[in-house]
Structure 1
Amino acid sequence: MDESNAPLDEGIVYRATLPLAWKPVPAMPSAEVQAQINETNVALLAMFGVLDEHPAEFKGGEPEVVQAIARLDIKIGLVLELVGELLRHQLALPKAFPVALSEQGLSWIVEPTTAPARGDLVRMDIYLKTGYPRPLRCWGEVISVEHSGRGVKIAARFRGMAEDMRDGLSKLIFRHHRRLIASQRSA
């Protein structure tokens, strides 16, 4: 199957209901703007990687040091949660939609009246962590629009994404998948 026609929500994907805003755009932004957005997205994905680390992952240290790091992690997590809660009240996050995020693109389900058309170029703001309400901004071309009982499933293939951003996105998706498997095994 040609990669441009391959389904975006097969394999390892990040499935969740997330705040998402999208809008059709007439063209891709300039190369300079794309580079700036990619740089911002890479930093955001790296920060999510740091926030996703847990003290249990720091092996080989003195038990007292590991415990101190665990206590600091809990305190920092609480502060971030409180700040995130304040920001969520200050900012109006977009409506949440069921999404499937892969390193190739994004698919989501919407009401038929708001669906973009196949071939549309769209700008998407994906809020991956509502505790840190800063979006991952991406552009994509709508490659499919499928009507289903729950609404319309849209699939958009990413365009203009730098390789380091794609790598960061791939790592985020894999960490999410790994945690999902671990939680299913422990249940």
Structure 2
Amino acid sequence: MSSQNAVTGLVYSDNIALSWKPVDYEPEQTHLAMVNASNESFLRAVSAVGDGLNTKDDSDAPPGIQQDIARLDLKLNLVLDLVSALVYHELDIPPVSAVQVSAEQVSWQGEGPPAGARIFLELYIQRGLPKPLCCYGEVVTTPEEQAAGRNTVRFVGLTGAARVWLEKLIFRHHRREVAFRRAHVGD
């Protein structure tokens, strides 16, 4: 990546589905507010699903209740996985690409829009959930990046709580990545 488009801060890197389409208008502030509200709600749900069962010792709850909650959590996760698998087969989910997401921008390898274009992005950031994070962006890909098949889009209008929840998601993925690497250092 060029220094102009270098990502600062934490980055969420994964193979996820991504789609984009060009837009020939600048979204109005009221529309961006609705998109941000929808994204905030979605990212809160992703956080709740991603966190799963709280494994901290709760001394107020009897052990039997903790086990019951753990079993219910596993059953609910299984149902969500099965329903998501069925829905994925019915929807037209785009192909998976190597994607990097920060709080400011998204980058991916593959086909992309021309530099300077304004686009609408759909990022399927949570495996098992067939709902995307939707946002607008401006293509800031350099000619060198474009020649290498790399695309960089800076988010437009992603603000407030939606941005905060995206930062939390990125941090949670980063923390898990670090824990995974530490666990597999001796392998």
User: If the length of structure 1 is used for normalisation, what is the TM-score?
Assistant: 0.88
In structure 2, runs of 5+ residues without a counterpart are none
Shift of 1:30: 2.1
RMSD: 2.0
The 8 Å contact of residues 5 and 140 in structure 2, kept in 1 or not, is answered as no
Partner of 2:26: 28
The 8 Å contact of residues 145 and 151 in structure 2, kept in 1 or not, is answered as no
1:116 to 113, 116, 139: 113
In structure 1, runs of 5+ residues without a counterpart are none
Partner of 1:157: 154
Change (3 A) 1:152 1:146: farther
The residue identity in structure 1 corresponding to 2:172 is R
Partner of 2:125: 128
Change (3 A) 1:145 1:110: farther
More strand by share: 1
Q: Report the number of matched residues.
A: 180
Shift of 1:181: 1.1
Shift of 1:166: 0.6
Partner of 2:92: 92
2:55 counterpart of 1:57: yes
Shift of 1:128: 0.9
Shift of 1:8: 4.8
Cα deviations by residue, 1:108-129 (Å, 9 ceiling, x for unpaired): 1114xxx211111111000012
2:105 counterpart of 1:105: yes
Q: 101-110 vs 176-185, which deviates more?
A: 176-185
Partner of 2:167: 170
- Identity percentage over the alignment? 34
SS in 1 for 2:149: strand
User: If the length of structure 2 is used for normalisation, what is the TM-score?
Assistant: 0.88
The 8 Å contact of residues 145 and 152 in structure 1, kept in 2 or not, is answered as no
The residue identity in structure 2 corresponding to 1:161 is L
